Amino acid sequence: MTASPFAALRGAAAAGSGTRARARALRRAALLALAFALGPACAGGGPPPDVAQGAQVVADPAIVEFQVRAQAFYDRFTNRRVNTLATFQDGLLRGYFRSDQEFTDYYANLAQALVQAHFERNEPLTAEVEEFLVDGPGRARVRFHMVGKNGLPLRFWRTSLAQEDRWERHEGGWRILPGKL
């Protein structure tokens, strides 16, 4: 059974909080609708992907499923305090890991990285996927970037954190492999 492209949007809208998440989901839906509308007209008009730059056209359902799942995971951290009991006990976040121990390791690493990057209240304002890297069958990496308010005194600019996570396909689903502590 194939999920519709709008199912990911509904999941992303539920993942955020308040009107910002709804507005973001509506913008994505509008862009997706525009892409579907213009897709047939532009199908042969653009240059082919530059394979010298590493670009690839992907149609494998497992890879597309991975991209949707990974984006939904990182969207769960947008406008949400990471170092709270509610986030730690989030069942949806725990579902991205093979065990509670792996989730706890990942969670501790992420919370510590946000503290070291001086995120105010450990709350990323945005969590964007920068790149999906497929290493082989059932193995991939995701580079993501989080931006938030700077928690240091008299720092009016934002702070950021860039990291890379390893993912593996395990028992039919994509799971995160936490790094070493």
Domain spans, the chain: 1-57, 58-181
Q: What does the pLDDT read at residue 17?
A: 53
Q: What does the pLDDT read at residue 24?
A: 66
SS (H, E, C) the chain: CCCCHHHHHHHHHHHCCHHHHHHHHHHHHHHHHHHHHHHHHHCCCCCCCCHHHCCCCCCCHHHHHHHHHHHHHHHCCCCCCCCCHHHHCCHHHHCCCCCHHHHHHHHHHHHHHHHHCCEHHHCCCEEEEEEEEEEECCEEEEEEEEEEEECCCCCCCEEEEEEEEEEEEECCEEEEECCCC
Fold that domain 58-181 belongs to in CATH: Nuclear Transport Factor 2; Chain: A, (3.10.450)
Average pLDDT of adjacent 10-residue blocks, the chain of 181 residues = 48 53 61 49 51 63 88 95 95 96 96 96 95 90 96 93 95 88 51
pTM metric for this prediction: 0.68
Tokens of 43: 């199908």
Q: What does the pLDDT read at residue 38?
A: 46
